[in-house]
Amino acid sequence: MKIETSNIIFGRNPVKEALRANRVSKVYISNNFSDKNISPLLQEKKPYIKVISNGELSQKSNGGVHQGVVAEVKPYEYLDLEEILRRSRKETVPIIVILDGIEDTHNLGAILRSCDVFNVTGVLIPKHNQVPLNATVAKASAGAINYVPVAQIGSINQTIQKLKDNGFWVVSTDGNAKIDYNQLKFDFPTALVIGSEGKGVSSLVVKNSDYVVKIPQYGHVNSLNASVAAGILLAKIRS
């Protein structure tokens, strides 16, 4: 399913990865643009290319750091839950990440980047109270948005039940949990729930989880950034 969101991306790495994924339709570059990784891809993929001024590039990127290159891409695609489950059946120990109300685009992008690094089967995001896939997410993901399957879901708790019916064990995080995340072996199909930046995982989702774990903290701040927590937990699951 295609969702019409902003189709402008900018910056060398996001544009490079979008070119690799055959998602670019037009590229705008500055008159002195040169990049040993992008230039060969422009010759290979042959998108429409237009040379414009830095001022025009800034306008197209809405003042963002464009590094001399802006691209128009095809609308980002969401898969459905059934497709994510179908893909999970091909893996020995699949991982699905559920995002419970992530509202910061940079957090979502960073989470997708970690999901790509640790070969997550798919990411599930609610249709409401959740930042969608867009150009800012694409840049923050360093191009991972092109490779990580993302599905939109309705009720997280109904989705959790369906995942359990398909053999997944649901693991949520909570600072008051009694189990340290290092105490689990994660030798089972895992559905990892990452909570919102301010509220964490909702209480009903915690109640419906098979395990609730915490990441021990030894400093002075009272919580971890959602994307940092996701990276720590995914590294443990894959270890």
Domain range annotation of the chain:
8-73, 81-238
Residue 161 identity (one-letter amino acid): Q
- Residue 207 has what pLDDT? 94
Q: Which CATH number, 3.40.50.720, 3.30.1330.30, 3.40.50.1000, 3.40.50.300, labels domain 8-73?
A: 3.30.1330.30
CA distance 64 to 236: 35
pLDDT at 159: 96
With b meaning 16 or more CB within 10 Å and e meaning fewer, what string describes 209-224? bebbbebeeeeeeeee
Cβ burial 41-69 (10 Å sphere, 16+ → b, else e): bbeeeebeeeeeeeeebeebbeebebbbb
**Whether the Cβ atoms of residue 140 and residue 109 lie closer than 8 Å to each other:** yes
* Cα atoms found within 13 Å of the Cα of residue 165, Cβ hemisphere only: 8
- Residue with the two structure tokens 């927590």: 229
Distance of CA 76 to the CA centre of its chain: 12
Can you give the pLDDT at residue 139?
81
d(CA 197, CA 200): 6
pLDDT of residue 8: 86
Closest by CA position to 44, among listed 67, 27, 68, 69: 27
The answer to whether the CB of 45 falls within 8 A of the CB of 174 is: no
Decide: residue 6, CB within 10 A, 0-12 exposed, 13-18 middle, 19+ buried: middle
* Average pLDDT per 10 consecutive residues for the chain, totaling 239 residues: 62 90 91 91 92 92 89 87 96 94 91 96 90 83 90 94 97 89 94 88 93 87 84 95
Query: CATH for 81-238?
Result: 3.40.1280.10
pLDDT of residue 6: 54
Tell the burial category of 159 from Cβ atoms under 10 Å away from its Cβ (0-12, 13-18, 19+): buried
Tokens of 103: 């509202």
Q: The whole model's pTM is what? A: 0.85
Sequence-separated contacts (24+) of 18-24 with Cβ below 8 Å: 18/71, 18/73, 18/138, 18/143, 18/146, 19/45, 19/47, 19/71, 20/143, 20/146, 21/143, 21/146, 21/147, 23/73, 23/74, 23/146, 24/71, 24/72, 24/73, 24/74
